[in-house]
Amino acid sequence: MSNFAVRHVLPALAALSAAAAPLAAQDKQQQPLDINSFEAVKAVSDPQMAPNGSAVLYAVRTTSLGTNSRSSFTYKVAASGGIATAYPDASTSASQARWSPDGKRVAYIAGGQLWVADQMGGTRKQLTTLAGGATGPIWSPSGDRIAFTSRAYPSCSEDACNAARQKAADSNPVKAHIADELMYRHWNAWDDGTRAHLFVVGADGNGQLDLTPGATYDVPPGPFGGSEGYAWAPDGRELAYTAKDAGREDAWSTDNNLYTVPAAGGKPRVITDANKGADENPVYSPDGKVILYHSQARAGFESDRWRLMAYDRSSHQSRELLPQWDRNADSYVFAADGHAILIQTVDASREKFYRSTFSNGNASAPQLVLSERNNGSLSLDRAGRTMAWVQDAADRPAEVFVATLGAGVSGLHQLSHENDALLATLKLYPVEDYWFKGANGDSVQGMILRPPQWTQGKKFPVVLLIHGGPQVPWLDQWHGRWNYQMFAAPGYGLVIINPRGSPGYGQKFVDAISRDWGGAVYSDLMLGLDAALAKDPWLDGTRMGAAGGSYGGYMVDWIAGHSDRFKALVSHAGPYNLENMYGATEELWFPAWEYGGPYWDSTAMAQQYRKWSPHLYAKNFKTPTLVTAGELDYRVPYTEDLSFFSALQRQGVPSRLVVFPDEGHWIQKPQNQKLWWSEVQGWLGKYLQAPAM
């Protein structure tokens, strides 16, 4: 495994991290995290630095268990610090706020439509009244127009048609789903016939224009794409955007492409059609000569390395900028003068910022800028000197930070303080990194978290957490769903391992899980658990449980048929019968790559489906298991969980099924999360017999 990053800690950041570390967990007045304090955490995101570096806009999402709802508001605070005020006011639920290029106005979304106000929140004007709403505003370089997306029926040329079609569908008593092609449903929703189109509108509300009329594809592709999927050219005459126009191959193709389209309207032109992997998220250079984007070379593989590419607008040729850099270019932004690129990537369980110089079309080897804790959502001022971003960790929810970017980073300080008062009441330990020899004798990373009740000389039950993806790593982060502190709160030590398949350790390490789902990864997890028990004797190896969701749920199902070392298991949304999984999931490129093809391919059937499917080992099930799922989960249909539960029950294995009819792959609604945590903690407590707090 490559571990190329030069590691250093900026002095200011090191001091900050040291101050925030284990002291919090040793205050006798503090309490473990519970569902009420978990839901009381304010989710801070989307910082936007003012063009002149004077202020920052950021989003805050709050939760009400009582009303079973969440609310999002935007706040504004001086970059030097101070009291944050609601923008545009305390009664408006505004999101996706974006400064105009001159910093005098802000575009934002409220009530599902696009608005503009001045920098103080006054002189507000609603710019859109579209039936499909508006989302993802970005200003043109001159500030005279705003690009955004809205859902529309491809056959409609006017919004009145969209409104009429929508009304007819809503009022029709027949709700049947009819499909002639695949991708008839995606993530947690059935295809309703609409597509996300790219629009522009004047900053005064005039001149609204659909730039992709009639398009039968989404801009950007769903289900999670946002405004990072499109961008303005510096002269304001063109936009580039991400889309996938794969026709009937949509369900098994990963061939997303970049398109350019005149800002005044015209025929879009695809600029990355030579590559059959995914090409996404354009960023124009300040001089307009180059479009950066990230790209995957292998068609059909959604977890291939995201290469940083540069498209030359004169020669119409693309080339990779950092071919020797064995990390993903997850996001990237040019510095103001265009001579440097800041890149966000995952490295060894943390999101980090790197900087690469850019000159004459060439980029230098990236140098580490921020390495401690988890960093994301970078925003720069117009001069490229003042930066805002969000930082979090396992023991600290996300907050906005600000620093000055020069030869290094200076003046680093926490800008938002939305959760400080709550954190002062909680006992929270940070994660502790450790490394061990994995299945192939290579170096694998894990993290250990102490429970809030930890005392020297006392043993605590253990919970092994297994991540999903499978090419999605555990990070040193404050997770909004699988929160480490909530798992640890009843008195459990956590072992959190990034086995092969996890990004942040080189692409070879990522590739090693495909078509070997129950092989070396399982060994990594067991070896990592053994290494943790040897390292920290306070972890009680006689009282252990394991929990995982998605691929982690698959691995829990696999463990159920291959190990008796655990006292209790928790499986959420896990593929159980791989043949059924292929036939019912929506993104068919995923099982086709991971399992080597469809189940009617004889080689794939013999080497994958009939080898790595947990249901084939059902006769070995003995461990008490909690199974949870969402009925709206179209990625791993909940029937996988029903099948697993049926096998457990028919063989008399202690088991419990919890299905949420109004949830998808993730359990997100506040009251549903409350029940989910109650069931998980109750199940683990029943079998691990955690000591009383």
Q: Is residue 293 included in any domain, yes or no? A: yes
From edge to edge, which strands make up the β-sheet containing 195-202? 135-139, 145-152, 195-202, 209-210
Rounded to the nearest angstrom, the gap between the alpha carbon of residue 266 and the centroid of all alpha carbons in its chain is 34
Handedness of CA 182, 183, 189, 191 (dihedral sign): negative
Q: Is residue 624 included in any domain, yes or no? A: yes
The pLDDT confidence band at residue 233, using thresholds 50, 70 and 90, is very high
State the residue for tokens 């940070």: 430
CA-CA distances (angstroms) from residue 206 to 125, 127, 210? 12, 8, 13
Q: 320, 336, 361: which is the final residue of a domain? A: 320
Structure tokens at 629: 């799922």
Cα diameter, the chain: 72
Q: How far apart are CA 47 and CA 75, in angstroms?
A: 9
- Asked if 301 and 449 sit in the same domain, the reply is no
- CB atoms < 10 A from the CB of 627, how many? 29
Burial (0-12, 13-18, 19+ Cβ within 10 Å), 441: exposed
Q: Which residues of 443-478 are buried (b: 16+ CB within 10 A; e: fewer)?
A: ebbbbbbbbbbbeeeeebbbbbbbbbbbbbbbbbbb
- Asked if 288 and 432 sit in the same domain, the reply is no
244, 256 in Cβ contact below 8 A?
A: yes
Question: Which DSSP string do the residues of 566-585 spell out, in sequence order?
Answer: -SEEEEES---SHHHHHHH-
Q: Which residues of 424-433 are buried (b: 16+ CB within 10 A; e: fewer)?
A: eebbbbbbee
- Asked if 158 and 305 sit in the same domain, the reply is yes
- What percent of the chain has pLDDT above 70? 95
Residue 570 has pLDDT above 70, yes or no: yes
- Asked if 654 and 512 sit in the same domain, the reply is yes
Name the residue range of residue 315's domain.
Answer: 127-170+192-320
The pLDDT confidence band at residue 28, using thresholds 50, 70 and 90, is low
Could you give phi then psi for residue 670, rounded to 5 degrees? Answer: -55, -50
Q: How far apart are CA 546 and CA 680, in angstroms?
A: 11
pLDDT tens, position by position, 46-91: 999 999 999 999 999 999 999 999 999 999 999 999 999 999 999 9
What is the overall mean pLDDT for the chain? 94
The pLDDT of residue 27 is 47
The pLDDT of residue 5 is 30
Q: How far apart are CA 255 and CA 279, in angstroms?
A: 7
CA-CA distances (angstroms) from residue 141 to 75, 137, 146, 265, 455? 24, 13, 9, 17, 57
Q: Is residue 106 included in any domain, yes or no? A: no
Residue 321 has pLDDT above 60, yes or no: yes
Q: How far apart are CA 39 and CA 132, in angstroms?
A: 31
Q: 258, 292, 320: which is the final residue of a domain? A: 320
Residue 517 has pLDDT above 70, yes or no: yes
Among 547, 531, 533, which Cα is nearest to 488's?
Answer: 547
The pLDDT of residue 13 is 33
Mean pLDDT of 276-304: 98
Q: How far apart are CA 465 and CA 463, in angstroms?
A: 6
- Asked if 443 and 564 sit in the same domain, the reply is yes
The pLDDT confidence band at residue 544, using thresholds 50, 70 and 90, is very high
Q: How far apart are CA 109 and CA 559, in angstroms?
A: 46
Rounded to the nearest angstrom, the gap between the alpha carbon of residue 384 and the centroid of all alpha carbons in its chain is 26
Angle at 395 between CA 392 and CA 397, to 5 degrees: 40
pLDDT tens, position by position, 369-408: 988 899 999 999 999 999 999 999 999 999 999 999 987 7
- Asked if 434 and 315 sit in the same domain, the reply is no
Q: How far apart are CA 637 and CA 618, in angstroms?
A: 19
* Identity of the residue numbered 198: L
| Crossing angle of helices 639-650 and 551-560, rounded to 10° | 10
Q: Is residue 208 included in any domain, yes or no? A: yes
Q: Is residue 629 included in any domain, yes or no? A: yes
CATH number of the domain residue 533 falls in: 3.40.50.1820
Q: How far apart are CA 429 and CA 626, in angstroms?
A: 27
- Asked if 315 and 449 sit in the same domain, the reply is no
Q: Is residue 512 included in any domain, yes or no? A: yes
Domain count, the chain: 2
- What percent of the chain has pLDDT above 90? 93
- CB atoms < 10 A from the CB of 270, how many? 13
pLDDT tens, position by position, 652-679: 999 999 999 999 999 999 999 999 999 9
Q: 304, 320, 336: which is the final residue of a domain? A: 320
Among 276, 171, 282, 150, which Cα is nearest to 219's?
Answer: 150
CATH number of the domain residue 210 falls in: 2.140.10.30
486, 494 in Cβ contact below 8 A?
A: no
The pLDDT of residue 6 is 29
Q: Is residue 498 included in any domain, yes or no? A: yes
Angle at 129 between CA 126 and CA 131, to 5 degrees: 155
The pLDDT of residue 408 is 76
* For the ranges 5-14, 25-34, 111-120, the one whose mean pLDDT is highest: 111-120
Q: Is residue 681 included in any domain, yes or no? A: yes
Q: How far apart are CA 679 and CA 672, in angstroms?
A: 11
What's the helix, strand, coil split of the chain in %, to 5?
Answer: 20, 35, 45
Rounded to the nearest angstrom, the gap between the alpha carbon of residue 408 and the centroid of all alpha carbons in its chain is 28
